[in-house]
């Protein structure tokens, strides 16, 4: 510890002084200061507010088209679904045909950290979309449950956007692609249609393996969702989600996230990877490790957003 000598009228005293003494003294002074001494009034930094006009126009148009599509869904065949569903996943229908997905995850599978064998195990896939990962878990031998919302009404939309959907309810089924692929593949996956927030071990039990892919970014409350995932995980949970490496590059540690507000592609947040890991730990998981990071572009794009796969245990 550094030493300081104090002198007074011929007397001297040498003291060991902690290195952060300056900070301690400043804090004591601050605590003693009167409100006017420690008040700083300054002009706010410059910023722009997004009035969301572009997104409002986009969604109003979307709702108009979707109502028409919903009417057409009532009497469709499997072939209609293959050709007209906005497929997110590229799924092998096991009859020589493959769905025209926006993403093809097949080459990602060896890097993704799925267990090699899930025979005799229970697995839960949360936010399955068209079902690519749920069908993978079934292929590995698990007894699989898939949870997803049923319609737009159950999605975490920003309030003003939700109002557009309330005015013109859209009955497009989120399970349309999954149900068709399920039938065509002869799958035995059990479907639960409810929001992730409703996951309750007293109702669904706990699972040996839980997968939640690309869902946290779509949630207003990802921290609550992670807590719900923790309550139903008995063995291992694999969480894949988007992150922004530019935030990690700032080097300030966990905590940074971009707020997006749910308007574009119902995306609410893009956290730093360190924040994502911290959120998983804060939800009560232990042994959190990053299995891989990857960027998968959708059809027609050169680059996709960065995503990370995290493995976590209770």
Ligand X SMILES: C[S@@+](CC[C@H](N)C(=O)[O-])C[C@H]1O[C@@H](n2cnc3c(N)ncnc32)[C@H](O)[C@@H]1O
Residues forming the site for ligand X (CB under 6 A): 88, 127-129, 132-133, 148-149, 155-156, 174, 195-196, 213-215, 218-219, 240
Is 38 in contact with 26 (CB distance < 8 Å)? no
When the beta carbons of 79 and 153 are compared against ligand X, the nearer one is: 153
Task: Find residue 210's DSSP bridge partners.
Answer: 124, 237
When the beta carbons of 72 and 153 are compared against ligand X, the nearer one is: 153
When the beta carbons of 82 and 149 are compared against ligand X, the nearer one is: 149
Residue 88 beta carbon to ligand X: minimum distance, rounded to whole angstroms? 6
When the beta carbons of 4 and 304 are compared against ligand X, the nearer one is: 304
Residue 81 beta carbon to ligand X: minimum distance, rounded to whole angstroms? 16
Alpha carbon of residue 80 to chain centroid: 31
Contacts of 73-82 with CB under 8 Å at 24 or more apart are 73/171, 73/172, 73/173, 73/176, 78/180, 78/183, 78/184, 81/176, 81/177, 81/180, 82/180
Residue 159 beta carbon to ligand X: minimum distance, rounded to whole angstroms? 15
d(CA 126, CA 146): 6
Residue 134 beta carbon to ligand X: minimum distance, rounded to whole angstroms? 8
When the beta carbons of 152 and 285 are compared against ligand X, the nearer one is: 152
User: Rg (Cα) of the chain, in Å, rounded?
Assistant: 26
Residue 244 beta carbon to ligand X: minimum distance, rounded to whole angstroms? 17
Tokens standing for 284? 């009560």
179: enclosing H helix or E strand: helix 176-185
């Amino acid at each position: 510890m550094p030493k300081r000598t104090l002198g007074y009228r011929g007397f001297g005293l040498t003291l060991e002084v902690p290195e952060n003494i300056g900070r301690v003294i400043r804090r004591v002074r601050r605590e003693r200061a009167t409100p006017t001494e420690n008040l700083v009034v300054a002009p706010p930094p410059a910023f722009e507010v997004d009035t969301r006009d572009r997104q409002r126009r986009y969604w109003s148009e979307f709702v108009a088209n979707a109502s028409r599509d919903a009417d057409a869904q009532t009497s469709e065949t499997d072939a209609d679904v293959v050709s007209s569903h906005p497929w997110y996943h590229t799924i092998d229908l096991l009859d020589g045909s493959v769905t025209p997905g926006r993403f093809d995850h097949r080459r990602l599978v060896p890097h993704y950290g799925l267990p090699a064998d899930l025979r005799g195990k229970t697995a839960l896939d949360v936010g399955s979309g068209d079902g690519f990962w749920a069908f993978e878990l079934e292929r590995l031998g698990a007894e699989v449950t898939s949870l997803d919302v049923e319609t737009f009404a159950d999605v975490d939309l920003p309030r003003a956007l939700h109002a557009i959907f309330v005015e013109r309810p859209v009955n497009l089924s989120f399970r349309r692609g999954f149900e068709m692929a399920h039938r065509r593949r002869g799958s035995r996956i059990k479907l639960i249609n409810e929001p992730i927030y409703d996951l309750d071990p007293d109702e669904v039990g706990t699972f040996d393996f839980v997968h939640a892919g690309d869902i946290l970014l779509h949630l207003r409350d990802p921290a609550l969702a992670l807590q719900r995932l923790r309550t139903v995980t008995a063995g291992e949970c694999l969480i894949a989600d988007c992150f922004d490496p530019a935030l990690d590059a700032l080097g300030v540690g966990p905590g940074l996230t971009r707020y997006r507000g749910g308007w574009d592609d119902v995306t609410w947040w893009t956290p730093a990877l360190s924040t994502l890991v911290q959120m998983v730990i804060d939800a009560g998981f232990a042994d959190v490790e990053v299995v891989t990071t990857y960027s998968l572009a959708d059809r027609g794009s050169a680059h996709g957003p960065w995503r990370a796969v995290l493995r976590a245990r209770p």
